[in-house]
A = this chain, B = another copy of it.
């Protein structure tokens, strides 16, 4: 069963992952074991689903955080698998929400199968993640994971509620992406430190590191959605504008646009025809709104790396720094 990530890494992820290559392979093996135990009718769905996430960035953050604070234990691998399962669950449901057709150069579940299957398959991945977490029998870990799950949903629900609200403030946008994306990165980094026996202060620093790379990750995701290449990203882009999500580049453009052009811009945003979409994309780049969003992401990443200062310099901390750079530099 090919879960799809090994050897397919572009960018510089292969290099970043080098010190934890064997450990990430261990996480893959666990995913295979958990998922091959499924019923036969689930097999194809599982194989397909586990290729959608691909980058294994959240397990990598968890493992690197563990290595940064000490040595890795079986709990790191188990929770690495849990991170990937939760992430994949959210991808599968996101693709339903966005009506997305492609992800990582593959058809989405809603295209290859259907909406029904996507809804329940996402639920299923999440319940497996919870069941695996429960196996640890660690109340604190269970509380952290269930809180992360709830916050993810709160972020998503608020984002849905704010569709079409182009008066959304930058701060409100940041609150949304902190819940829907950064929470899981924060959880991964914090648990990595926790299982390595790090003291409270260090755990807290890593939680903040995770939170800030998570915010940066989502800002860049939103930038790529308006200014990226579908060929490189391997997934449907432009869905945020179609779904009228007020993301950072759009919020910025609305701030800096001359007063007399504002009404026309809102008109275009509320009527995402193909012509309006291509005009909007061009304006987002030309106006500097996209650059502004990238520089905001860079600020968060710089702040994230700052939180690593209290840790010794080792393979783990170097890896976490490299992940931070990757997050803002990525094209997909």
Q: Which residues of B contact A115 (CB under 8 A)?
A: 96-97, 115
> Which one, B97, B131, B154, B160, contacts A150 given CB within 8 A?
B131
Q: Which residues of B contact A134 (CB under 8 A)?
A: 139, 142-143, 146
> Which one, B41, B93, B120, B142, contacts A142 given CB within 8 A?
B142
> Which one, B127, B147, B161, contacts A146 given CB within 8 A?
B127
A156 at interface by CB-CB < 8 Å: yes
Q: Are B139 and A153 in contact (CB under 8 A)?
A: no
Q: Which residues 293-317 in A have Cβ within 8 Å of B in the complex? A: none
Q: Are A157 and B121 in contact (CB under 8 A)?
A: yes
Q: Are A93 and B121 in contact (CB under 8 A)?
A: no
A39 at interface by CB-CB < 8 Å: yes
Most chain B CB neighbours (cut-off 10 Å) among A38, A42, A146, A154: A146
The tally of residues in A whose CB lies under 8 Å from a CB in B reads 41
Q: Which residues of B contact A97 (CB under 8 A)?
A: 115-116, 119-120
**Copies of this chain in the oligomer:** 2
> Closest CB of chain B to A145's CB: distance in Å?
8
- State in angstroms the CA–CA spacing of A149 and B150 once bound together: 16
Q: Which residues of B contact A123 (CB under 8 A)?
A: 93, 122-123, 126, 149, 152-153, 156
> Closest CB of chain B to A121's CB: distance in Å?
7
Q: Which residues of B contact A149 (CB under 8 A)?
A: 123, 127, 130-131
Q: Which residues of B contact A135 (CB under 8 A)?
A: 143
Q: Which residues of B contact A128 (CB under 8 A)?
A: 150
- State in angstroms the CA–CA spacing of A135 and B139 once bound together: 8
Closest B residue to A143 by CB, please name it. B134
Q: Which residues 169-216 in A have Cβ within 8 Å of B in the complex? A: none
Proximity string of chain A (212-243) to chain B, C-beta cutoff 8 Å, 1 when within and 0 when not = 00000000000000000000000000000000
A26 at interface by CB-CB < 8 Å: no
A137 at interface by CB-CB < 8 Å: yes
> Closest CB of chain B to A173's CB: distance in Å?
15
7 closest pairs, A vs B, by CB?
A124-B153, A127-B149, A131-B146, A127-B150, A41-B161, A130-B146, A97-B116
